[in-house]
Structure formats: C-alpha cells, structure tokens
Amino acid sequence: MALTGKSALITGSLDGIGFAIAEALARNGCSIMLNGFGDAGLVKQRVSALAALGVDADYHGADLSVPAQIEDMVATAVRRFGKIDIAVNNAVTRHYANIDELPVEKWDYALAVNLSAPFHVIRLAMPGMKERKWGRIINLASNYGVAGTTRRTDYVSTKHGLVGMTKVVALEGLPFNITCNALCPGATYTPNARRLIAERMAASGRTEEEETKVYIAGRQPSHRFIEPARVAALAVFLCGDDACDITGTPIAIDGGWLAYS
C-alpha cells in the first residue's frame, strides 16, 4: 500500500489502460477519481470495484473537449479528496484517414481531447503539487508519439505533442519533486484493439488467434499484445519514490516495436 494517502485523477479510465491504472493504483492505497464516457451501470460497477479495494473512489463525466468541464472535474476531485497527487492523462480519440481526407472537425476534436485536455489537467493540478512539493504526472502517449505511420495524422501529431509537453513539464517540476513521464505502449489489448480484431475476423473468416497473429506481424517482435495490467504496473512504479529521478522520459512498452527504428 505504498500510495496510501495519495489521490489520483485519471482521464479515460472506465476501461482499457485507464481502468487498469486506476485498479493498480487503488491496490496500492490510492484514492481514485475516474473519468470517461459510459452508461450509469458501467460507472457504478467501476467505482464499486475500486471501493471494494478499500479506497475512496468517485467519477466525473467531464467531456474533455470542453475546458470548463475539465476545470469542474479537477475542482471536484480536490473537493472530494482534498488534493490531486497523481494526474494520469489517458483519454484519447483518433480518426483513420489520409491527411487530405481528414475532416477538420475530427482534427479539432483530437487536438482538444489528446493534447489540450492534458494541458488543462496539468495546469490545474500542478499548483497544488508545487505547494506540497510532491507530484506525479503520467501522460499516455504511444509508440506513435516517437514514430510515424499513415492515416493517423491526428493521433500521431497529438501524441508527438504530448511527448513534448511531458519534457517541458518535467523540467518545470524538478524543483518541486514533481515528475512527468510519457508511457508509450505498442499494440495493447484494449477495447479498441478488440474491436479491430473482431472487424478483421468478420472480413477474413479467421479465428481470433489467427487474426491476432496477422495483425501483430510486422508490428511487435514479441508477436503478442501488450496487456493493460503491465502498462499499469509501470505507472505504479513511476508514482513511487524509487522513480523520483525518472522524469521527462518517453518510455516504450512495445514488445520491441521501436527496436526496429
């Protein structure tokens, strides 16, 4: 329970990597403010699952494309827990298209959710962290935060921007024992990945195991998806005191993907 007495705000945390991080932090004694889009039943289930681990847990349904709602989310977390010690920016959106076919509204939305929302969360949480001289900020970037690919202009551009923001925040946080790092997962078994595999199975007629091998081939030398729990385990480590000198770093969890670059 190394994080007992700490509290975390995690965006995009009702499923996938976000909830895996929430659960892992809670197992270490951290209070959790969840966020994301989901029906009332899912929200109740997720909050209850964390509370069952013996921590305070709550939910705020802020639309991260709206700065005023982000401000209310941060203020609510501070009222609920007294402080925000850990901020995890995980929420993401993406649209697959060549740059000349990408709808402008999709580009604007990706900028808002993937890049501006982390900016707002950090700028609002950091003053309290500075005052207490302790803070941990984790930005979920991607292997595409340091590499490129086609048909993902919004995703690749915003993830590169998030890595840049991570470096600036890390340097500004140094005098206050605030670290900021970017986790860069490769192909991870998230709800989005499950959806992609299901679509490809429907088109190809292959089994899930067969389709996964085809999908992963040429991407991750490990030939397997990254499990969200393993990303979460690294996030927990970065929140501990043993990681106080790790800051400003894009950290790959990608089964060797970037070793090719």
Please name the residues in contact with 112: beta carbons below 8 A apart, sequence gap of 6 or more: 64, 65
The edge-to-edge listing of strands for the beta sheet with 135-140 is: 57-60, 31-35, 7-10, 86-89, 135-140, 178-185, 250-253
Please name the residues in contact with 201: beta carbons below 8 A apart, sequence gap of 6 or more: 207, 208, 211
Is 155 noted as a catalytic residue in this protein? yes
**DSSP three-state, residue 60:** strand
Helices (H), 82-227: 104-110, 117-132, 153-173, 191-204, 208-216
Please name the residues in contact with 56: beta carbons below 8 A apart, sequence gap of 6 or more: 7, 31, 32, 80, 81
Catalytic residue among 59, 144, 155, 215: 155
**Catalytic residue positions, numbered:** 155
